[in-house]
Amino acid sequence: MAGKIRVRASLNGDKCEVKALMRHPMETGMRKDAQGNQIPAHFIKEVVAKVGDRVVMQAHWGAAVSQNPFLGFEFTGAKAGDVVVISYVDNKGETDDGSATVK
Amino acid sequence: MMFQSRRSILKMGGALIALAALPLRALANFVRNDAAFTATSMDTTFAALGAEPVDSADIVVGSPDIAENGAVVPVEISTTIPGATRIMIMVEKNPNPLSAEFFIPEGTVASVSTRVKVSQTCQIFGVVEANGKFYKASKETKVTLGGCGG
């Protein structure tokens, strides 16, 4: 499941605006299925955004972040052609990533 | 000549190791506070964080007044507090109020947006850490359809 995070990075003045959309069920562990069985928790725990070696955003999430999470933020010091890479790790140790070239 | 190339290879190896170690170091700075994420009330969350936040007019909590679907509530928290290094989203009446925390490295704007689940009508808090101190602001979001289970 690599490379499935959709990322957009666009320059707006001196700031680079980043928008990312991840695919993830974000199960809280509190829901039950039709048979009344508890659906186990399955959620993204950590998200990191980088440009080269520079960490431009890092987040810890709980299960209360919505399904197929959205993340938006801005940072300075980017130039066109830089590549923003976003990756996550969930509570089962599964990972995904995605990248975008700054425009 | 021989030695020189050996040295440069060593140097390259050293640089590679340093590069590989960087992301780990960056991650290690911000250890997940599991006690805060599993706390079941605002008070116990603040206690787990070791935070006694004061109200601040310099935090803007952007969320809808009325959310039709509590499972997907867009929230944007931004602040002008100097030296803000951490932004947290807490939903007052969720089973676990702390929904997300964002670390703001130097050069990143202290403004984040995401979408969270909101179980019932309540206050959504934006909590900011700056220079070891905590600040908070909140906004009420009315929920027509709860975002947890249902």
Tokens representing B64? Answer: 């809808």
Q: Outline where DSSP puts E strands in B92-147.
A: 98-103, 108-116, 122-130, 133-145
Residue B68 has pLDDT above 60, yes or no: yes
Tell me how long chain B is. 150
Predicted local distance difference test score (pLDDT) of residue A2: 74
Q: Which residues of A touch B114 (CB under 8 A)?
A: 65-66, 69-72
Quick one: closest CA in B to A59, which residue? B102
Backbone angles phi, psi at B69, to 5 degrees: -120, 110
Tell me how long chain A is. 103
Nearest CB neighbour to B107, from listed A46, A71, A75 = A75
Residue of A15, A16, A66 best to disrupt the B interface, most CBs of B under 10 A: A66
Residue of B27, B86, B115 best to disrupt the A interface, most CBs of A under 10 A: B115
Asked if the Cβ–Cβ distance from B94 to A57 is below 8 Å, we say: no
Q: Which residues on neighbouring strands pair with residue A88, listed in sequence order?
A: A47, A96
Predicted local distance difference test score (pLDDT) of residue B30: 79
Please write the tens of the pLDDT for every residue from B3-15: 556 666 556 655 5
What is the distance between the alpha carbons of residues A87 and A70, in angstroms, rounded to a whole number?
13
Predicted local distance difference test score (pLDDT) of residue B81: 97
Predicted local distance difference test score (pLDDT) of residue B105: 95
Q: Residue B73, SS3?
A: strand
Residue of B109, B113, B122 best to disrupt the A interface, most CBs of A under 10 A: B109
Asked if the Cβ–Cβ distance from A66 to B113 is below 8 Å, we say: no
- Quickly state the pLDDT bin for B26 (edges 50, 70, 90): very low
Q: Per-residue pLDDT averaged across A24-51, rounded?
A: 94
Q: Which residues on neighbouring strands pair with residue A84, listed in sequence order?
A: A51, A100
> What is the average pLDDT score of chain B?
86
Exposure b/e, B61-91, CB count within 10 A at least 16 = b: bebeeebeebbbbbbbbbbebeebbbbbbbb
Residue A22 has pLDDT above 60, yes or no: yes
Q: Per-residue pLDDT averaged across B67-79, rounded?
A: 95
What is the distance between the alpha carbons of residues A59 and A71, in angstroms, rounded to a whole number?
10
A69 contacts chain B (CB < 8 A)? yes
Q: Of A9-23, B12-26, B73-87, which gets the smallest average pLDDT?
A: B12-26
Q: Which is more confident, A31 or B8?
A: A31
Contact A64, A28 (CB under 8 A): yes
Asked if the Cβ–Cβ distance from B109 to A77 is below 8 Å, we say: no
